[in-house]
Amino acid sequence: MTSADRLTGPPTLAVWKFASCDGCQLTLLDCEDELLTLAGQVRIAHFLEASSDVLPGPYDLSLVEGSITTPGDVERIREVREQSRALITIGACATSGGIQALRNFGDAAEFRSVVYASPQYIDTLATSTAISAHVPVDFELRGCPIDKRQLIEVIGAFLVGRKPDIPDTSVCTECKRRGLTCVMVADGTPCLGPVTHAGCGALCPAVRRGCYGCFGPRSGANLPALIGQLQTCGMSPRAVDLVLSTFNAAAPGFALPGAGEQR
Amino acid sequence: MTHRSRQLRVSALARVEGEGALSVLVEDGQVRDAQLRIYEPPRFFEAFLRGRQHTEVTDITSRICGICPVAYQASAWLAIEDACGVSVSEPIAALRRLLYCGEWISSHALHIYLLHAPDFLGYPDVVALARDHRALVERGLRLKKAGNAILETVGGRAIHPVNSRVGGFYRAPSRAELAALAEQLRPALDDALATTGWVAGFDFPDLELEHDLLAASQPGRYAIEGGQVASAAGLAFPPQEFGDHVVEHQVPHSTALHATLDGRGYLTGPLARYTISSAALSPIARQAAAAAGLGAACRNPFRSIVVRAVEIVYAISEALRIIGEYERPDPAGLDVPPRAATGHGVSEAPRGLLYHRYQLAADGRIEAAAIVPPTSQNQAAIEADLRGVVAANLDLDDAALTALCERTIRNYDPCISCAAHFLDLRVEHR
């Protein structure tokens, strides 16, 4: 591709992976109805899971999956940022460190020795951190995994240069809009819906399960009040600690004083 | 061989799930070494599972792999129910099998159309393939969508399903919901049969695997979840004895552990399942296999794409059978009171056998967890195949040999996210 093509061709899209399960980049391939249309509007310039054709940067839009867990990745995310006009993190790992951030509350050296007989071969950091802890991020898309409608919305918004329509409200608003009966009020089922960022479409209440917080905390959540309610529903302090210590354990909005100590 | 000293590099192998590296050393025309190097940063699941409650495990292990989360949930719920001495009802077991069929269809359609077929047809990716063969790609995407429809209807979400749990489900779908799903699956069966005919016409390099093959096995049916563990050479043992036969060991070049079966390398995955259980396929899947030129066994890894297509036919026919006989489980899930015990679980992830073991305390806390994913079991066999493929094709130029090595790796649909990710191919000639 020549520099002239760069000026006149479609915008370029790059997808990057750090420590993660691949589920958020798979969400892009799961857009079965939109994938070929999208591929006609952008040039997929770097997406290793999907293509062996890799174009050099810079890239107009980078989607970043995964958290930073190795010294090499601390450098790599800086290079990705330098090559990207806009950088969007996709998913809980990239946005808050993911489930692997549970190491932040434990002893990484001990963790390593539990899994590997010869831990000296393994090069890892003591923490798993969000992309925003290392480089400026233009937008953070929540979820473990992300929601494909939200992904299409964010990509579309960046391509035309508008603000994405991703409301920072609670799962409760989506639950009400679907006309679901509240699992906490009706069944006494503990539910993180009131403090959890919207976006999934209230999937868990739809199967009569309490929300387990996989989209992470919404801003302005009243966590202490919810904790009182969870305990009223019969959760022990340990159970409350566990449910807040999963896929967004390192997100400040879900942090408890002494989190991790009771396990 | 005039190239006594040459080096091939591909900075990152594409169209695999995850990231790893490969180096091949050729000295004086002899392949001295082939290493599949897995660089995926470790995430330490087995460490942070300790101290968690037994009922949380399936949501956590699901996050090991976004491509095959149901496999990671299934082996976990089987192991924990084994520890707690709980057996689920037949209707719950059938609904679980339906959920798992959805993952097979979706994952296999992804691999066939988006990752593997471009190799056979000379395209860098599915987008380029779609420019010339849009109807073909649309067929693949429809199949993938049909698999995801099962995952969404039964599991509540395609990636990291929310409705499944230790003991069963939070909510069982109604017959009407499954009837609507069946309407979507019937045309998908035609798409799957067409897919089998299409991939059967590809050109396959000759290669016969000599490794033993290992898969879950159930009398009279094609094993997906649970059952015994069986090998093509005739070995059979219950999941509780997995650790007596399969030993994992660490190698310096990989964050995934390597495994051996009674001291030898072996292979899991579609070729193993097909070779061990092809007689138990549904009639329509058997017909499709025969029409595609498969016999009772298949040991050519390049033809794994045909076996995957046959398995899609099977999974759709099996899903339709389960829906046809569906009894809504009541309750949707059982309570699983904990006890101090160790439990074992096996299931067939789309890319091979997945074993989990958990040691529980009396109050249900996890004291120890062990997870043996298919890609780490297959690493040694993949390396052996690479040695064979390179040795048989030393006359190829660097670019062609590199491409063939990449194809060899893709035959196994390696999920490096599961095993630990970065395929960086390096062939070194001295």
**A135 and A202: one domain?**
no
Chain A (175-194) residues lying within 8 Å, Cβ to Cβ, of chain B: none
Looking at residue B317, its pLDDT comes to 98
pLDDT given for residue B403 in this prediction: 82
Structural tokens at position B341: 């015990």
End position of a domain, from candidates A137, A160, A183: A160
Same domain, A12 and A95: yes
pLDDT band at B416 (very low <50, low <70, confident <90, very high): low
Alpha helices in B300-415 (DSSP H): 304-324, 374-392, 398-410
A138 min Cα distance to partner chain B (Å): 25
Q: Write phi, then psi, for A86 (nearest 5 degrees).
A: -125, 140
Which range is most confident: B38-42, B45-49, B152-156? B152-156
Question: Which residues between 185 and 244 in chain A have a beta carbon less than 8 angstroms from any beta carbon of chain B?
Answer: 200, 203-204, 206-209, 212, 214, 239, 242
Angstrom CA distances, A175 to A193, A206, A209, A214, stand at 8, 8, 12, 15
pLDDT score recorded for residue A243: 94
Q: Do A113 and A88 have their domain in common? A: yes
Report pLDDT for B427: 44
Is there a domain that residue A96 lies in?
Answer: yes
Assigned domain for A247 exists: yes
Return the pLDDT at A190.
97
Q: Are residues A46 and A152 in the same domain?
A: yes
Contact (Cβ atoms closer than 8 angstroms) between residue A215 and residue A198:
yes
Contact of B296 with chain A, judged by CB distance below 8 Å, is answered with: no
CB atoms within 10 A of CB B266: 25
Contact across the interface for B63 and A98, Cβ inside 8 Å? yes
Q: Is the pLDDT of residue B430 over 60?
A: no
Tokens of A196: 């959890």
Do residue A206 and residue B156 have CB atoms under 8 angstroms apart? yes
Each residue's pLDDT tens digit, B310-339:
999 999 999 999 999 999 999 999 999 999
Give me the domain span that covers residue A208.
171-253
Into how many domains does chain A fold? 2
> How many helical (H) and strand (E) elements, i.e. helices and strands, does chain A have?
12, 5
Is residue A99 situated within a structural domain?
A: yes
Last residue of a domain, one of A160, A187, A217: A160
B182-220 tens-digit pLDDT: 999 999 999 999 999 999 999 998 888 888 999 999 999
- Contact residues, B window 184-203, toward A, CB-based 8 Å cutoff: none
Domain co-membership, A248 together with A175: yes
User: Is residue A19 one of the residues assigned to a domain?
Assistant: yes
If 0-12 CB within 10 Å is exposed, 13-18 middle and 19+ buried, where does residue B255 land?
A: buried
**How close are the terminal C-alpha atoms of chain A, in Å?**
54
A39 and A128, same structural domain? Answer: yes
The answer to whether B399 contacts chain A (CB < 8 Å) is no
Please check whether residues A45 and A92 belong to one and the same domain. yes
Residue in chain B closest to A111 (alpha carbons) equals B47
Question: Looking at the domain assignment, is residue A79 inside a domain?
Answer: yes
Q: How far apart are CA B377 and CA B420, in angstroms?
A: 12
Q: Can you tell me the distance from the alpha carbon of A207 to that of B315, in angstroms, rounded to the nearest whole number?
A: 25
CB pairs under 8 A between A and B: 189
Query: A134 with A92, same domain?
Result: yes
CB contact under 8 A, B44 and A111: yes
Please tell me if residue B299 touches chain A, with a CB cutoff of 8 Å.
no
Residue A121 CA from chain centroid, whole number: 29
Contact B113, B350 (CB under 8 A): no
* Paired sense of beta strands B266-267 and B341-349, if any: unpaired
B121 and chain A in contact, CB less than 8 A: no
What pLDDT was estimated at residue B418? 57
pLDDT of B262 above 80:
yes
Q: Are residues A119 and A249 in the same domain?
A: no
**Of A160, A181, A199, which marks where a domain is finished?**
A160
Mean pLDDT score of chain B: 89
Asked if residues B282 and B314 have their Cβ atoms less than 8 Å apart, the reply is: yes
Are residues A54 and A12 part of one domain? Answer: yes
Chain A residue with minimal CA distance to B370?
A115
What is B57-376's CATH superfamily? Cytochrome-c3 Hydrogenase, chain B (1.10.645.10)
Q: Does B118 touch chain A (CB under 8 A)?
A: yes
B156 touches chain A (CB under 8 A): yes
Determine whether the interchain pair A17/B19 forms a contact, defined as Cβ–Cβ distance below 8 Å. yes
Residue extents of the structural domains in chain B: 57-376
Q: Does B64 touch chain A (CB under 8 A)?
A: yes
CB contact under 8 A, A246 and B124: no
Q: Kindly report, residue by residue over A105-156, the tens digit of the pLDDT.
A: 876 666 666 666 555 555 678 889 999 999 999 999 999 999 999 999 999 9
- Predicted confidence (pLDDT) per residue in A182-202, tens digit: 999 999 999 999 999 999 999
